[in-house]
Structure 1
Amino acid sequence: MNSEIIHAPPGSPGAEGSADIVVTELFRAHRLALVRLAFLLVGDQESAEDVVQDTFAAVFRRWSKLSDRGEVLPYLRKAVVNGCRMVLRRRAIIGRFRGHREIPFWSAEAAALLGETRRQVFLAVRALPRRQREALVLRFYLDLSEAEIAQVMGVSRGTVKSTTSRALKVLATQLQEER
């Protein structure tokens, strides 16, 4: 994708470009990475795709109201993380009334693609508390800096550091026990 579209200076064609063109380019360039981010947070492909689609639809609807169009990608990331939080909250509420049910997200195809070690790591990450899982996914999957993670999660850099540290300790312990 042409980076001038995302980071165009005010008054240039990219900054004030039509929503359908700019959002379409953003979608083409970042949809897959955002779906992967959502998948790691919610654990199933359908919900991940729904969250990302809803996020892009919201950006499209609100395009004329966006004050800083140069910050659309960080906004998209934050909106995806917030959308995943809503999905998980909804599942928790439904689970209280129906009883918890494991969501089947391992298709034969997906299981064949992931090696056993990667599957164990994935399941260990999924078992982490929400905030720790978000911090690790944003850090090691999207390779965001502490400042960027803090912005996406809406917390301080110190909280990002401590949360990431605690999550790594829990993962190390859990994965050592499985050996």
Structure 2
Amino acid sequence: MRRRQQHPRATLPPAPGATPTGPLAGANPADLEREAGVARLFALHYSSMLRLAVLLGADDPENVVAEAYYRIYRRWRRLKDVAAAEAHLRSTVCDLTRMRIRHLQVARRHEEHPARPTDETVASAENTALLRDDQRVLIDALQQLPARQREALVLRHWLGLKESEIAAAMGITRGSVKTHTSRGIAALTQAMEARR
């Protein structure tokens, strides 16, 4: 005789003001605040952080963003201003993307055999082919820029951040932001004109 397999019952989240049950029952109020704060941050900014990682050239943007949220979760109690969590998250995505790109560059230098195309490469090629020609040229030119110039341009023109916010995200001065932005624009303009 076969036993019926028991499936866990779905539970709804408690109503506002209700006492939590289950894993959060008896939880520290600071833990509940952290859970709610990170959940809010995720709901509000996940898509923009994912776009940021993609535009900065991350080969695995979902993992970069997931790691950034994990780091925010771990540091939540140490954040002096919870309202500044978005800026901290943005800075973490920039740092993790930069580290990931450096790691891949080193790994590729030491690779003995070039990697064969995978299904992901083919899917990526199909997506690229669907982009309009001018978009493809712009994205290719953007990917050829030095990392700092690319970061400054993406933060400024795709996310619309102010110089002070860009400086905080990149960990540089406002003057350096201006320098990287102007050099990046000049290089992009030259690349776009050369391909026309």
TM over 0.5: same fold? yes
Q: Which among 163, 167, 170 is matched to residue 180 of structure 2?
A: 163
Aligned-partner SS, 1:18: helix
Distance 1:176 1:134 in 2: 22
Distance 1:74 1:22 in 2: 14
User: In 2 relative to 1, CA 17–97 (structure 1 residues): closer, same or farther, beyond 3 Å?
Assistant: same
Deviation at 1:158, TM superposition (A): 1.0
Which residue is 2:145 aligned to? 128
Q: What amino acid maps onto 1:39 in structure 2?
A: V
The answer to whether residue 53 in structure 2 is matched with residue 38 in structure 1 is yes
Aligned-partner SS, 1:144: coil
Deviation at 1:107, TM superposition (A): 4.3
Find runs of 4+ consecutive structure 1 residues off by over 4 angstroms. Answer: 99-103
Q: Which among 115, 140, 143 is matched to residue 160 of structure 2?
A: 143
Gaps in structure 2 of 5+ consecutive residues: 1-29
Deviation at 1:110, TM superposition (A): 5.1
Deviation at 1:106, TM superposition (A): 2.3
Which residue is 1:63 aligned to? 76
Verify the 8 A CA contact 2:57 2:101 in the aligned structure 1.
yes
Deviation at 1:111, TM superposition (A): 3.3
Distance 1:92 1:128 in 2: 15
**C-alpha RMSD of matched pairs (Å):** 2.2
The answer to whether residue 115 in structure 2 is matched with residue 97 in structure 1 is no
Higher helix share: 1
Q: Which among 118, 133, 136 is matched to residue 135 of structure 2?
A: 118
The answer to whether residue 95 in structure 2 is matched with residue 82 in structure 1 is yes
Distance 2:70 2:95 in 1: 15
Verify the 8 A CA contact 2:142 2:188 in the aligned structure 1.
yes
Give the total of aligned pairs: 162
Deviation at 1:92, TM superposition (A): 1.0
Verify the 8 A CA contact 1:43 1:126 in the aligned structure 2.
no
Gaps in structure 1 of 5+ consecutive residues: 1-14
Aligned-partner SS, 2:160: coil
Q: What amino acid maps onto 2:98 in structure 1?
A: R
Q: What amino acid maps onto 2:179 in structure 1?
A: S
Which protein is bigger by CA-based radius of gyration?
2
Distance 2:128 2:36 in 1: 33
Report the TM-score when normalising by structure 2. Answer: 0.76
User: In 2 relative to 1, CA 145–16 (structure 1 residues): closer, same or farther, beyond 3 Å?
Assistant: farther
